[in-house]
Homo-oligomer: A and B are copies of this chain.
Amino acid sequence: MKWKTQIIRLETQKQFELLDLTSEIENEVYDSEIKQGICIITSTHATSSLIINENESGLKEDILNRILALAPDGENYQHNRIDNNARAHVIASILGTSLTLTIEEGRLVRGKWQNIFFVELDGPRANREVMIKIFGEK
């Protein structure tokens, strides 16, 4: 068994944003030289998330719009008395904070239209991190 951990650092530009991490993650899998294994991607923040879907500009807006509808603006969120980002926390709770993908014959398994996105819900932020943990057999 080989284990590899890498952190990707991100600077986000908008309050709500999808950032495509597919290439970085595929490069990490390639560099690991693991042929048969697992790749776990983790957002270590309570106001961001990760999703998998197609990278098409109109669709990215559709996805963001519906994700934001999980915690609509204008609700009387109690957490906003402490920090004005309750929507981000609520949405991250529903979407989750990690993805598990598999590695076959040295390649990350994903469908043709399955790209991996970091979901910023409380940006812009200068110091977002995503952890890539890969393990398996060479």
Binding site for B on A (CB under 8 A): 1, 3, 5, 36, 38, 40, 42-47, 51-54, 56-59, 61-63, 65-67, 70-71, 75, 77-79, 81-82, 86, 89-90, 92-102, 104, 109-111, 113-114, 131, 133, 135-137
Query: Which B residue's beta carbon lies closest to that of A4?
Result: B36
Provide the residues of chain B in CB contact with A82, threshold 8 Å: 56, 58-59
Query: Are the CB atoms of B79 and A46 closer together than 8 Å?
Result: no
22 contacts between A and B (CB under 8 A): A3-B137, A38-B40, A51-B93, A51-B94, A52-B92, A52-B93, A52-B96, A52-B97, A58-B77, A58-B78, A58-B86, A59-B79, A59-B82, A61-B78, A62-B75, A62-B78, A62-B79, A62-B89, A63-B89, A66-B75, A66-B94, A70-B94
